[in-house]
């Protein structure tokens, strides 16, 4: 299901869920931590993951934000895409570790460690991206 945010109390996800946000040419990924907030990895320019050459290798920063601030008019969905392959970690651990990452700078690479790698690492302990074709 793809949705757009109509109001402040619109989202009914559970802490530890992965949120896939649809953008032009790519999808951005975040970890839902509750209270309509997410933790996500953005590149050094403050933008989400993308398929642009200038974003292929840079520094990323882990941020905590209101989900609605990321969506604008973009669609989104809860997408715990690897649940059939891996056991999700306990939601309290996912949230605790995501909080602990906020403010950290990480090497950002579209191919090897982007926002989807980060989100999957938080939920499953596995840094994987399905939108990267290697």
Please give the structure tokens belonging to residue 90: 């306990």
Is position 27 annotated as part of the catalytic site?
no
Is position 28 annotated as part of the catalytic site?
yes
Given the residues 23, 27, 28, 117, the one annotated as active site: 28
Is position 117 annotated as part of the catalytic site?
no
DSSP state of 89: P
Separation CA 57–CA 59 (nearest Å): 7
Given the residues 27, 115, 117, 133, the one annotated as active site: 115
Residue 119 φ/ψ, nearest 5 degrees: -60, -45
Counting runs of H as helices and runs of E as strands, what totals does the chain give? Answer: 3, 6
Judged by phi (left if over 0) then psi (alpha if -120 to 50, else beta), residue 41 lies in beta
Given the residues 27, 40, 117, 133, the one annotated as active site: 40
What positions carry a catalytic annotation? Answer: 28, 40, 115
């Amino acid at each position: 299901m793809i949705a757009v945010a109509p109001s402040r109390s619109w989202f009914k996800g559970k802490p530890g869920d992965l949120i896939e946000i649809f953008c032009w040419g790519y999808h951005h990924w975040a970890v839902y931590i509750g209270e309509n907030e997410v933790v996500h990895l953005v590149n050094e320019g403050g933008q989400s993951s993308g398929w642009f050459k200038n974003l292929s290798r840079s520094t990323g920063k882990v941020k905590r934000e209101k989900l609605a601030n990321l969506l604008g008019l973009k669609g989104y969905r809860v997408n715990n895409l690897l649940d059939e392959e891996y056991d999700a970690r306990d939601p309290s651990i996912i949230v605790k570790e995501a909080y602990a990452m906020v403010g950290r700078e990480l090497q950002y690479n579209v191919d090897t460690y982007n926002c989807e790698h980060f989100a999957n690492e938080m939920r499953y302990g596995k840094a994987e991206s399905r939108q990267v074709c290697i």
